[in-house]
Amino acid sequence: MRVDEITETELIARFAPMLPVGVRTVLGPGDDAAVLTARGDLVVTTDVLVEDHHFRTRWSTGADVGWRAAMQNLADVAAMGAVPTALVVALTLPPWTPVAWVEDLARGLAQACEPHGVGVVGGDLSAGPALSVAVTALGELDGRRPVTRGGARPGDVVAHAGVLGRSAAGLALLAAASEGVTSLPGGERLVEAFRRPDPPLLSGVDAARAGASAMLDVSDGLLRDAGRIGLASGVRLDLSRGLLAPGVDALAEAAQDVGVDPLTWVLTGGEDHGLLATFPPSVALPPSFHRIGVVVAADVPGDPGVTVDGATWAGPLGWDHFHAT
Amino acid sequence: MRVDEITETELIARFAPMLPVGVRTVLGPGDDAAVLTARGDLVVTTDVLVEDHHFRTRWSTGADVGWRAAMQNLADVAAMGAVPTALVVALTLPPWTPVAWVEDLARGLAQACEPHGVGVVGGDLSAGPALSVAVTALGELDGRRPVTRGGARPGDVVAHAGVLGRSAAGLALLAAASEGVTSLPGGERLVEAFRRPDPPLLSGVDAARAGASAMLDVSDGLLRDAGRIGLASGVRLDLSRGLLAPGVDALAEAAQDVGVDPLTWVLTGGEDHGLLATFPPSVALPPSFHRIGVVVAADVPGDPGVTVDGATWAGPLGWDHFHAT
C-alpha cells in the first residue's frame, strides 16, 4: 500500500503508536506543539536526510534511515555535553512511498530514541518529490556549561570516543557488492556500522563533567571536523598516525577487499558520529575516550587547524554538500 | 550565481549575518547545537514547506517563503499559549537554486522573527531535488499551562483572532491573474495576505491568560480546524454564519472577480494562521478575539465536531496532504 492510498490521519494512526514518549514529555504529538519539562538551559539542533544524497532506499531500510536520522541529531546534542530529551520529525514523502516504509522509519526512530529516554514528540508530513527526513533534537544541560568547538588550547589532549571510518568502510563494501566486486566477506559488521551508527551518547556528558575544553561529533570526517575545532579555537589539532593505528588496523581486511588505504577511511570517513574532544592535560580522560593527538599553537594565519604527525594531509577532507571533493 | 557555484561555507557566510539572534539565545549557529535559556516548560513544533506543494517560486519570493515558514510555526507556538523564542531551519536546495533566493529566504525569516525577539539559532543545508524549508520552533510557557485542543466544553464561546479566508482569496487571485482572468483589481492586499500571513502571535498568550479552554491556529481551514477542537474535546463547535458575515463581506468583491462564494474562503481557506479558541462563558474575551460560535454537546458517536448554524457543511473541508478534496 502506498501513502497516497490512505488518508494522512490513517497514516499517522499507523506509526504514531510506535513512537516513544520520552521521560521529559508533558504533551506528545497531536496538538499544535508538544510540551516538554525543562530545568535550565537547553540545546537544539537540526539535520535533514534526503534520499539519494544521504541514503539510498536499496541500501538502507526505513528503520535504518530513522535510526540514522535520530542518532546524528542525538550525537549533536551529546557533543554539547547535553542529555538528549526529544525529537521532532518533518517527513516529506513521494506519493508512491510504501506505508510500510514509513512504519519502518518510525520503528527505527523508536529503536534509537527509546533506550535513551528520548521522546519523538511531534512532526509534520508533506508530499514531495523525494523522501526526506528533517529531525530536530533537543537536549538539557542540567546546569552545565555547553562544550563548544572554540575552547581548545595548546597543550590540550585530543581524544575520541566511538569508532572512526566504520561507516565509510561499510558504505564502500555495499557499493563494491552492488558492482559484484565482493560478497562482503566478514563485512557485515561494517555494513551494520554504516546502516546503524551507534555513537557513544553518554560520553558527551562524561566529557563535559571531566572538563573537556572543546567537543563536536565527527559527522563529516575526522580531519574536517578536527579542523573545525582548530579553526574555531584558533589552534591546530595535530593527530597521531600511531595513536590512530588500532582503528586503522581494524579496517585493514575490508580495505584490502575494495583496494583502498584504511587510513583514508579513518581520517575522512564521516557519519560514525563519534565524539572528538580536547581536554586540558591535567584531566583524566573518561574511559570511553582514547587519545589520538595533541593541540598545538596555530603557526600562521591560514593555519589549516589540523595536521597528521605535523603535516597537512594531502587527500580529500570529507564532505561538502554541493560538491564532490 | 547558483548555490553549487560556491562552497557551503561561503553560502552560510552570506546569509548567517542576516539572521536574528533572539532574546533567549546563549549560543547561536555554528556549533553542533544552539543553546537557549529556558525558564520552565517549553513547547516545540515543526512544519515543512515543499516547493510546488506549499509554495511556488513564481508566486512567492524567497523572503515570502521564509516569512511564511517562520510564521506558521510561530503561530503553532502561540496557539499553545506560549511565547516563541527560537527557530531552527533545515533547508534542502537543488543545485540550481540562486544564491540570491537563499539570502532572500534568510531576510524573510528575519523579518518574521526579529520583531518578536525570536532567534534563528541553527540550521542545516542539504542538496536535494526540490526546494524545501523545514522549520522547528520553540517557545516558553513562562509557568502557564499549555492550552491544548482538548479542553472545550459545551456552553463555551468559540472565538477567533486574526483573519479568515484572506490567504485563500489571495491565492485564488494570483491563480486567476496567471490565467489572464483578472488584473487583481484591488486585490493586492489579499495577495499580500497570502504571501505574508501575519497571525496575531501575542493573542495566544492573551487567550491563555484569559482562561481559554482550547486553542489552535487555523492552518487548514476554519471548518477542518474547528472540527479538530471538537473531536479532541468530545464536543461540537457550532459556528454562526451571522457572526462570520463581516469577514465574508470583506472578501465579496474579490470573490465576485473570480466567481466563488466568499463564505467558502472563510470556512475552508487555510494558511491565515489566525487563532481559534474556546472560552468559558464567564470569560471576557481578549480584545483581539471575535465571537464566531458556541460549543455544544456532541450529539452522537461520529459527530463531525463542527457545524455551521447547526448543520453539517456540504463542501470540502480543506487540505489533506496526499489528496485533493
Which residues of B fall within a CB distance of 8 Å from A319? none
Chain A CA closest to residue B216:
A32
Which residues of B fall within a CB distance of 8 Å from A44? 33-34, 36, 86, 88, 121-122, 136, 138
For residues B194 and B325, the model is more confident at B194
Q: Which of A49, A126, A320 lies closest to B321 in CB terms?
A: A126
pLDDT digits (tens, 9 = 90+) for B91-101: 999 999 999 99
Q: Strand runs (DSSP E) across B70-152, as ranges?
A: 83-93, 119-127, 132-140
Tell whether B52 is in a known binding site: no
Contacts of residue B280, Cβ cutoff 8 Å, sequence gap at least 6: B153, B155, B156, B157, B211, B213
Tell whether A97 is in a known binding site: no
3-class SS of residue B14: helix
Q: Is A57 exposed, middle or buried (0-12, 13-18, 19+ CB in 10 A)?
A: middle
Q: Does domain A3-140 have CATH number 2.130.10.10?
A: no
pLDDT given at position A309: 94
CB contact under 8 A, A149 and B31: yes
Give dist(CA B147, CA A50) in Å, integer: 34
Average pLDDT of A96-104? 97
Which residues of A fall within a CB distance of 8 Å from B81? none
Give dist(CA A107, CA B191) in Å, integer: 42
CB contact under 8 A, A136 and B26: no
pLDDT given at position A138: 98
Quick check: B54 pLDDT over 80? Answer: yes
3-class SS of residue A222: helix
**Reported confidence tier of residue A102, pLDDT bands at 50, 70, 90:** very high
pLDDT given at position B59: 86
> Could you say which DSSP state residue A30 is in?
T
Quick check: A325 pLDDT over 50? Answer: no
pLDDT digits (tens, 9 = 90+) for B178-227: 776 655 666 889 999 999 999 999 999 999 999 999 999 999 999 999 99
Contact (CB, 8 A) for A278 and A212 = yes
Quick check: A197 pLDDT over 60? Answer: yes
Quick check: B37 pLDDT over 70? Answer: yes
What are the φ/ψ torsions at residue A14 (nearest 5 degrees)? Answer: -75, -40
Give dist(CA A24, CA A121) in Å, integer: 10
CB contact under 8 A, A92 and B44: no
CB atoms < 10 A from the CB of B153, how many?
15
Q: Which CATH class is domain B157-308?
A: alpha beta
Average pLDDT of A303-313? 90
The question of ipTM being above 0.85 is answered as yes
CB contact under 8 A, A88 and B45: yes
CB contact under 8 A, B45 and A122: yes
Tell whether A321 is in a known binding site: no
Contact (CB, 8 A) for A40 and A140 = yes
CB contact under 8 A, B148 and A31: yes
CB contact under 8 A, A4 and B323: yes
Alpha-carbon dihedral sign for residues B182, B186, B191, B194: negative
Quick check: A39 pLDDT over 90? Answer: no
Helix (H) or strand (E) holding A134: strand A132-140
Cα A23–chain centre separation:
22
Question: Best mutation site among B136, B147, B217, B273 for testing chain A: the one with the most A CBs within 10 Å?
Answer: B136
Strand order through the sheet with B25-27: A119-127, A83-93, A132-140, A42-50, B34-36, B25-27
pLDDT given at position A257: 86
Q: Which of A32, A45, A322 lies closest to B122 in CB terms?
A: A45
> HSE (CB half, 13 Å, CA atoms) of A25?
22
Contact (CB, 8 A) for B127 and B92 = yes
Closest C-alpha among B177, B182, B125, B160 to residue B11: B125
CA–CA min distance A87, chain B (Å): 9
pLDDT given at position B324: 39
**Reported confidence tier of residue A58, pLDDT bands at 50, 70, 90:** confident
| Domain spans in chain B, listed from the N-terminal domain onward | 3-140, 157-308
Question: Best mutation site among A32, A37, A140 for testing chain B: the one with the most B CBs within 10 Å?
Answer: A32
pLDDT given at position A184: 61
pLDDT given at position A319: 54
| Bridge partners, residue B45, by sequence | B137
Give dist(CA A131, CA A110) in Å, integer: 19
Contact (CB, 8 A) for A218 and A164 = yes
| Bridge partners, residue B139, by sequence | B43, B84
For residues A158 and A300, the model is more confident at A158
Name the residue type at position A33. A
Strand order through the sheet with A235-239: A214-217, A275-279, A157-161, A289-297, A235-239, A306-308
pLDDT given at position A220: 93
Give dist(CA A102, CA A91) in Å, integer: 9
Q: Is B302 exposed, middle or buried (0-12, 13-18, 19+ CB in 10 A)?
A: exposed
Average pLDDT of A176-191? 75
Q: Is A209 exposed, middle or buried (0-12, 13-18, 19+ CB in 10 A)?
A: exposed
Question: Best mutation site among A3, A8, A46, A99 for testing chain B: the one with the most B CBs within 10 Å?
Answer: A46
Give dist(CA A96, CA A90) in Å, integer: 18
Exposed e or buried b for every residue in B169-208, given b needs 16+ CB within 10 A?
bbbbbbebbeeeebebeebeebbebbbbbbbbbebbbbbb
User: Could you give the C-alpha distances from A5 to A9, A105, B48, in angstroms and in order?
Assistant: 12, 18, 22
pLDDT digits (tens, 9 = 90+) for B129-183: 999 999 999 999 999 999 999 999 999 999 999 999 999 999 999 888 877 665 5
Give dist(CA A228, CA A98) in Å, integer: 39
Chain B CA closest to residue A2:
B322
Give dist(CA B122, CA B85) in Å, integer: 13
What percent of chain B is modeled with pLDDT above 90?
85
Give dist(CA A278, CA A288) in Å, integer: 14
Give dist(CA A2, CA A95) in Å, integer: 7
* H helical segments located in chain A: 8-15, 62-78, 99-113, 166-178, 188-195, 201-210, 222-233, 241-250, 252-258, 262-268
Which residues of B fall within a CB distance of 8 Å from A146? 26-27, 31, 33, 35
Q: Provide the mean pLDDT of chain A.
A: 93
Tell whether A47 is in a known binding site: yes
pLDDT given at position B314: 77
Picking from A298-302, B104-108, B315-319, which range would have the lowest pLDDT averaged per residue?
Answer: B315-319
Quick check: A324 pLDDT over 50? Answer: no
What are the φ/ψ torsions at residue A221 (nearest 5 degrees)? Answer: 115, 145
| Bridge partners, residue A49, by sequence | A133
* H helical segments located in B89-212: 99-113, 166-178, 188-195, 201-210
pLDDT given at position A144: 94
Give dist(CA A308, CA A314) in Å, integer: 10
Tell whether A149 is in a known binding site: yes
Closest C-alpha among B77, B51, B65 to residue B108: B65
